[in-house]
Amino acid sequence: MSEDKQQAIRVSVECMHLPQESKPDEHRYAFAYTITIENNSNQASQLLNRHWLITDGQGEVEEVKGPGVVGQQPRILPGQGFRYSSGAILKTPVGVMQGKYEFVTDSGHHFDVDIPQFSLAVSALVH
C-alpha cells in the first residue's frame, strides 16, 4: 500500500541561486527552492516530518530532520496541493539535495514519499 501512496503524492521542485544573499569570497552560496506537493490519492494526508540530505560540491553532507515544513504540518485533501519556499546555504557553488517526507493518512496509515535528488548550482557555472 505504501508504494501506491507514494505514487499518489507527487513532489516537484524549482530552485534558484540567490546572488544577492551569496558571498563567494566567504564560501557562502545561497539558494532558494520551491516545493509543490500534490495529493493525487482519494484520501487526505498530513505531512508530519521532513528529512533532507544536502551535499555540497566537496561531498560534505548536512542532514536536516524535523517536524513539518516551514513551521507547518499541512493536511492535503485529495486533488489539492501545498506549495512552500525555503532555502539552503552551501560552501560551494554547486551541490545537491534529496530527502523524504513522512505522511499519515486520515485512516492512520504512515508512509514516506521520496524527494528525488535535485541540483543547486550557480547558473553562471551551468552550461
Q: How confident is the model at residue 92, as a pLDDT?
A: 97
Local mean pLDDT, 10-residue blocks, the chain (127 residues): 63 96 97 97 97 97 97 98 97 98 96 96 71
Q: How confident is the model at residue 123, as a pLDDT?
A: 83
Is residue 100 within 8 Å of 51, Cβ to Cβ?
Answer: yes
Contacts of 75 (CB under 8 A, 6+ apart): 44, 45, 46
User: What domains does the chain contain, in order, with CATH numbers?
Assistant: 2-125 (2.60.40.1470)
Q: How confident is the model at residue 75, as a pLDDT?
A: 98
pTM of the model: 0.89
Q: How confident is the model at residue 40, as a pLDDT?
A: 96
Contacts of 112 (CB under 8 A, 6+ apart): 2, 6, 100, 101, 102, 103
